[in-house]
Amino acid sequence: MKARWTEGNRARLLENGEEFFPTVFAAIRAARFEVILESFIVFDDKVGRQLQAALLHAARRGVQVDMMVDGFGSGDLPAAFVAPLTSSGVRLRSFDPSSRVFGLRMNVLRRMHRKIVVIDRERAFVGGINYAADHLQDFGPLAKHDYAVELEGPIVEEIHSFARSVVREEAAREGQRQRHDVAVQQPRAAGDVQALLVTRDNHEHENDIERHYRAAIRTARSRVLIANAYFFPGYRLLREIQRAARRGVDVRLVLQGTPDMPIAKSAASWLYEHLLRDGVKIHEYLKRPMHCKVAVVDDDWSTVGSSNLDPLSLALNLEANVVLRSAAFATQLRGRLEELIATECVEVATTPGTGLGWWQQLRSLVVFHFLRKFAVWASWLPRHTPRLHAHAPPDGLPADEERLHGAGAATESPHGR
C-alpha cells in the first residue's frame, strides 16, 4: 500500500491512558458494524479487562471484531481472557507466537509493534499506548508517559484499507470465505488537517518512517522537537539531526531519564557528546518512564505513532505512525512537550573543553560504525514467514464461518521478508 496525503481531517491529541482509554473504549462500545484493533501488548489487568468488556459489548451486538496482538508482547494472555472473546465471535490472532525456552520467550525479533484501532471506517486511533495498567498514573512510579491521536476524515479510509488488506490477505492464504464489506459513504471532510499513514514492514516499506523523519529534519527552518523513548537512530537520521543543529535550527530531544529498561538510557547516552557538541539540546524526562514516539518540526509538521528511533523499530519491527500537517495540532503537541521540559525534565549539560577520553573515543567509534551499518546487519538476523495463530472458540464450539475468517494479520511478505 502506497502512502498518500489526505486533506480535510480532524486530529485530537490524547495524552496517557487517562485520555486514551476512556475515548477508545467508548468508541468501541458505540461501534455499529466493525472494529479492527492491533496492539503490541494487551495484558490481563484492569485495563485489558476494560478492553475485553468493550469488545464483548460490540461483538455480542453483531459487530464484526478483528483483533491482533503480538505473540511476544501479549504472549501470556490466559485462556480465561481469550475464551469469552472467541466464543462471542471476536476473531483474535497472535502474531508469530512461540513457546518459552527455560521460561524465556525467544521470539524477540521482528515483532508486530503497531497500535491501531479503526471503527466503522469513521474513526481511527494511532499511537504508542498499549492496553496495560502501566499507562495509568495510578500504577505508580513506573507508569509510562505516552501519546496517541484520534482521527476522523479521509485518513480513516486509508488506515482502514491498510488494516483490512491485512485481514483479507490472511483469509485468502487460509482459503476462508470473505465476508463482504459493509457499504459506507466516503468519509467527509472533518477538519483542516493534512494526514499521512506511514508504516514499516520487512518487505516493501523497510525505511518509510525513518525517511519521513529525515526529510522533515532536513528541511527544518527553525526548530525540531523529538520525544522518543528508545533513541539510538540510524546513522543517516543522526546525521540529519546534527546538520540541522549546526545550521542554526533549535534542535531539542526529550529522552528517558528514568527508563523502564536501563539499557535504553545507556545506549542513548553514548551519543550525547556528539550531539551536544553540534548544538543539540538534550532533556531527560525524570518523573517516570517515558514511552513517547512523537515529534514536531517547525510550525506545522508532527508525527505520532508506535515507532521508536532505535534498531528494533527502524529495521525490524512492524510499525505505524501518522504524519500530520496542521499548525494547531503541532502547537498543541509542542506545548505539551515544552511543559514536560519545563517541569519534569533536566537538561544534559555540556562540559566545554573536556573532550573525550580514549575509552569514550573508542566506544564512540564503534557505536557510530554500528549505526552506519545496522540496517544492513539487521537483514542478516533470522527471518521467517511469520505465523499467525488464530484463537479458536473453547471446547470445539462451532463458529460462524463468516466470523472466523482471517482475523487480523500483519504486513509481512509471504516470502518471509
Active-site residue numbers?
A: 113, 115, 120, 291, 293, 298
Closest CA to 249 of 287, 278, 207: 278
Handedness of CA 14, 18, 23, 28 (dihedral sign): positive
Strand boundaries in 216-357, DSSP class E: 223-228, 250-256, 281-285, 293-297, 301-305, 319-325, 345-347
- Pairwise CA distance, residues 227 & 289, whole Å: 12
Torsion of Cα atoms, 363 then 369 then 375 then 376, to 10°? -130
Torsion of Cα atoms, 214 then 218 then 222 then 223, to 10°? 20
Q: How far is CA 385 from CA 195, 205, 401, in A?
A: 31, 16, 25
Q: How many CB atoms lie within 10 A of CB 185?
A: 7
Q: How many CB atoms lie within 10 A of CB 362?
A: 11
- Pairwise CA distance, residues 99 & 97, whole Å: 7
